[in-house]
Amino acid sequence: MRAVLTGGAGFLGSHLCDRLIAEGWDVLVLDNLVTGVATNLAHLQGHPRFQMQRMDVTKFIDVPGPVDYVLHFASPASPVDYLKLPIQTLKVGSLGTHNTLGLALAKKAKFFLASTSECYGDPEVSPQSEEYWGHVNQIGPRGVYDEAKRFAEAITMAYHRYHGVDTHIVRIFNTYGPRMRLNDGRALPNFVHQALTGQPMTVYGEGQQTRSFCYVSDLIDGIYRLALSSEHLPVNIGNPQEITILEFAERVRKHFPNAPPVVFRPLPQDDPKQRCPDIRKAQRLLQWQPKVGLEEGLGITLDYFKKSFAAEKK
């Protein structure tokens, strides 16, 4: 199998790249490094089945030779990034998805879209199943990401229905693990960065909004199983163990001696009050479920952050 993987220098993309190569695939990564980091793939440089090309996938994509699979993971993925890069976020979700689908069609390749639980917006039901259509403010500041991914899902299904492209869609819920950027603005990197630098740990609102955190190896396993499946409609992949943000902050604090206190700030606009996946479809179709508990995953991830932070200070 030869795969083209967009966004392969990102947090999730780089872990997926590792899995595909471990499974014997050849991988060509396309990334413009706007939010991805080349060092995430440094360990693969020189590998005979790995290539990387710097490319903006919102422009026409030309890949010589046969391609068996196109996996579209390129996009800013944290609120800090997509609020700073709103137009780029909309373009990579629309033009980028169109271009990668066009590549898959031209090469007669399978296509895989990395979508998001943000398609559900600030949900009115919990847990969120794939049949739920969402509660999204399309003109709010977060709408640039939510609607980019919703459009990406729509055009992916259109290519499947009209052109017969073999497509797959994963809706990714909050994921954490090594290679996250310490300054990317999501809850865990935020808390860790503040703890490492002695700043108060910022919790928004009263901290009663919930999230569910999936360790990256579990997510990648679910993605790989879905990529090999015959399912074309979206599938949730995430960990259904729900936790409040305040409790999550306290869990992180326990890993730091002399941890700074928690401070409360106003909730950002359209911040989801609940985020929890219904994973029954993944369990049934893929025989998948998460295996790594929060404490185990946090231990590995915080160790990575501490080592990275110490190396940067040298």
Q: What pLDDT was estimated at residue 95?
A: 98
- The active-site residue out of 69, 120, 145, 176 is 145
Q: What pLDDT was estimated at residue 237?
A: 98
Q: What pLDDT was estimated at residue 148?
A: 98
Residue range 167-194, pLDDT digits in tens: 999 999 999 999 999 878 889 999 999 9
**Homologous superfamily, domain 178-211+241-275+292-313:** UDP-galactose 4-epimerase, domain 1 (3.90.25.10)
Average pLDDT, the chain: 95
Q: Assign 310 a pLDDT band (cuts: 50, 70, 90).
A: confident
Percent of the chain with pLDDT strictly greater than 90: 91
Is 120 known to be catalytic?
no
Q: Is the pLDDT of residue 313 over 80?
A: no
Residue range 218-273, pLDDT digits in tens: 999 999 999 999 999 999 999 999 999 999 999 999 999 888 999 999 988 878 88
Determine the Cα–Cα distance for residues 61 and 155; give it in Å rounded to an integer.
Answer: 17
Determine the Cα–Cα distance for residues 240 and 211; give it in Å rounded to an integer.
Answer: 9
CATH of range 2-175+213-237; options 3.40.50.720, 3.40.50.2300, 3.40.630.10, 3.50.50.60: 3.40.50.720
Q: What pLDDT was estimated at residue 233?
A: 98
DSSP reduced 3-state for 84: helix
C-alpha distance from residue 74 to each of 13, 85, 271 (Å): 8, 13, 23
Identify which has the larger pLDDT, 108 or 257.
108
All structural domains of the chain with their residue ranges:
2-175+213-237, 178-211+241-275+292-313
Residue among 49, 20, 3, 63 nearest 220 (CA):
20
Q: What pLDDT was estimated at residue 314?
A: 72
Q: Assign 127 a pLDDT band (cuts: 50, 70, 90).
A: very high
Residue range 17-72, pLDDT digits in tens: 999 999 999 999 999 999 999 999 999 999 999 999 999 999 999 999 999 999 99
Determine the Cα–Cα distance for residues 164 and 213; give it in Å rounded to an integer.
Answer: 35
**How much is the pTM?**
0.96
DSSP reduced 3-state for 207: coil
